[in-house]
């Protein structure tokens, strides 16, 4: 589903060129869930941005569902995102002036799908906040907002879902609820999941883990919760 080959990202600063990502090559299979873990500033979000087509690579190639992202301009990438990609963010990124249901409808409307309202209503029920459909984001709790974001991410049944610290802004109880929901929907829809997290527990729920360290990506073996508790 995702194939990267020698992807780099560098930016020009006043002190010269700064390499944020060193050549990165890996593949993610369809239906797989992958966690990218690493310390703050290691380049996780930069990689996520590149994989999702939100940013352009400096060098290298990225194929998303067979489509060469690295050759596309922003417009083509936007169309591709609309058709195949879903997003969940740490800060929820809901449009404040739209209600919960309208936020959920948004990607369906942009993609030109029929009956976006019915679809949104159904999926909001599914994530358990159908009764809050007409509320604005600032009238919802953090957990509720993230559920709306999840509903929005799944409404178009995307092939790939990118999640950036999806539980980073939530307390433990809400984190668990959101994680469960995310994985349940992921399994149900057969979506490929790429998530960036600090949270080892969340990373452990994924099929694979990639560790980012100072712009270098390495594959790491998933550690089971049991093993971690023994280690402690």
Partner 1 sequence: MSMTSTLAWRLFRHEAKRGELTIILLAIVLSVGAVLSLSLFSERLQGALKERSAAFIAADAQLRSDTPIDEIWLQQARDEGLNTAKQVTTRSMVFHRDEMSLVDLRAVNENYPLKGTVNITDVPFGQKEAATDLPMPGEVWLQSLLFQTLKLSLGDSIEIGDAEFIVTKVLVDIPDAGFSVFNTDPIALIRLSDLDATAITGPGSRARYVGYFEGESSAISNFYDWLSPNLQDDLHNWRTVEDDESAIGRSVASAERYFLLASLLAIVLAAVSIAVAAQRYSQRHFDPVAIMKTLGATKQVIRRIYLLQILFITGLGIIIGLIMGFIGQQVVVWLVAEQVDVALSIWHWRPVLIAVFTGATCSLLFSLYPLMQLFSIPPLRVLRRDLSTNLRSRTIQYVASGGAIFLLMWIYSQDLMISLILFGSGVVLVAGLLGATFLLIAAGRKFGSGKMGPWQLAWARIKRRSMENSVQLISFSVTIMLLLVVLVMRNDMVSQWRSQLPEGTPNYFLINITGDQKTELDTHFKSNGITIEEFYPVIRGRFVAVNDDSVNTEVSKEDDSNIEGRQGLGREANLTWSNSLQKENEITSGIWHGDNTDTLEQGVFAVSVETDVGERLGIELGDMLTFNVGSEIVKTKVTSFRNVNWQTMQPNFFFVIQPEAMAAFNPTYITSFYLPEVQKSELTTLLKPFASITMFDVDARINQLRDIVNQVSVAIEFILVLVLVAGSLVLIAQVQASMDERRQELAILRTLGAKGSLIRKSVVFEFLIIGVVAGFMAALANELSLYMLQTKVFQMTASLHFEYWLIAPIVGAIVVGALGAVGCWRLLTLNTSALLRKMV
Interface residue list for partner 1 (CB under 8 A): 45, 48-49, 52, 54-55, 74-75, 78-83, 85, 87, 89, 91, 93-99, 102, 106-107, 109-112, 136, 138, 152, 164
Distance of closest approach, residue 49 Cβ to partner 1, in angstroms: 5
Q: Looking at beta carbons only, is 45 or 209 nearer to partner 1?
A: 45
Cα separation, 174 vs 180, whole angstroms: 10
Cα separation, 142 vs 174, whole angstroms: 8
Distance of closest approach, residue 231 Cβ to partner 1, in angstroms: 32
Distance of closest approach, residue 164 Cβ to partner 1, in angstroms: 6
Distance of closest approach, residue 102 Cβ to partner 1, in angstroms: 6
Q: Looking at beta carbons only, is 63 or 89 nearer to partner 1?
A: 89
Cα atoms found within 13 Å of the Cα of residue 57, Cβ hemisphere only: 27
Q: Looking at beta carbons only, is 86 or 208 nearer to partner 1?
A: 86
Distance of closest approach, residue 89 Cβ to partner 1, in angstroms: 6
Residues in Cβ contact with 75 at an 8 Å cutoff, skipping those fewer than 6 apart: none
Q: Looking at beta carbons only, is 26 or 92 nearer to partner 1?
A: 92
Output 79-84 pairs: Cβ under 8 A, ≥24 positions apart.
80/53, 81/52, 81/53, 81/54, 82/107, 82/110, 82/111, 82/156, 83/111, 83/156, 84/158, 84/159, 84/160
Distance of closest approach, residue 228 Cβ to partner 1, in angstroms: 28
Sheet of 216-220, strands arranged across: 85-88, 160-164, 192-197, 33-38, 208-213, 216-220
Q: Looking at beta carbons only, is 77 or 208 nearer to partner 1?
A: 77
Q: Looking at beta carbons only, is 95 or 214 nearer to partner 1?
A: 95
Cα separation, 199 vs 104, whole angstroms: 26
CB atoms within 10 A of CB 94: 23
């Amino acid at each position: 589903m995702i194939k990267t080959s020698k992807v780099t990202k560098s930016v020009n600063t006043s002190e010269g060129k700064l390499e944020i990502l060193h050549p990165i090559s890996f593949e993610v299979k369809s239906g797989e869930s992958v966690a990218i873990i690493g310390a703050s500033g290691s380049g996780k979000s930069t990689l996520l941005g590149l994989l999702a087509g939100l940013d352009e690579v400096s060098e290298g190639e990225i194929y998303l569902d067979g489509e060469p992202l690295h050759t596309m301009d922003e417009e083509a990438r936007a169309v591709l995102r609309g058709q195949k990609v879903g997003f969940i963010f740490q800060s929820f990124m809901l449009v404040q002036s739209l209600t919960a249901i309208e936020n959920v409808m948004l990607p369906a409307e942009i993609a030109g799908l029929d009956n976006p309202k019915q679809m949104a209503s159904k999926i909001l029920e599914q994530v358990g906040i159908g009764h809050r459909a007409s509320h604005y984001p600032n009238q919802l709790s953090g957990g509720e907002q993230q559920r709306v974001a999840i509903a929005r991410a799944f409404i178009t049944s995307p092939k790939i879902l990118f999640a950036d610290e999806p539980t980073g802004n939530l307390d433990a109880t809400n984190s668990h609820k959101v994680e469960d929901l995310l994985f349940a929907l992921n399994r149900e829809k057969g979506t490929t999941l790429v998530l960036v997290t600090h949270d080892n527990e969340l990373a452990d729920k994924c099929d694979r883990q990639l560790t980012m360290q100072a712009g270098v990506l390495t594959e790491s073996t998933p550690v089971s919760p049991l093993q971690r508790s023994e280690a402690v």
